[in-house]
Structure 1
């Protein structure tokens, strides 16, 4: 069965950016065949280390990046969302975060809010061979 390239959104709150970077680094061989987009600062953190990964840059989350991801979900242009959230810090754009989680739920998009869930998503056989 041929592997399918998925569209994956990458986002992390400030306190979780290092965790996302570590997760991407640890799983790069699994991830490298897929397409990515990331919100502003998350994009910078990832591309500073992984210059060879092609990651489309979206706006910063509070400046519209979360809405850009939500729009892609609505349009069927995002297959997986990896969004490492900081549960201990209030976010000034919490309404945007909630809307993005809501869209992921509404459109049945796999959503990982922590490394354990992200690991389960990418090690599931459906990740390598999604039904489209």
Structure 2
């Protein structure tokens, strides 16, 4: 496994290659990288600058922290949904489903989020 380069170091290497003051083969030998690696960095740099050269791989610790945040958010959203179900009538929940559908949810997804049965959503009282 070769040296790990920071985004700044990668950008410097790409800029050095773009300056054409050194042949690509010499540049790659100097930094002990392959031409393929250089071209990958160059493409990323051109498409998104130095920000695009950052190592996006997450450490296991970061993934664990992110998962904990998601679980906490999920628990909070569950509480909100339970409060919505208690506070709003079936008719009002139907309007919320319609609003969620306008935002890109399928009716099934919206019903699942609100914990509402399809039969309750589609039921229409027959007036006599």
> TM-score when scaled to structure 1?
0.23
Greater relative CO (CA pairs within 8 A, separation 6+): 1
More strand by share: 1
Q: Which has the higher helix share?
A: 2
TM-score (norm 2): 0.23
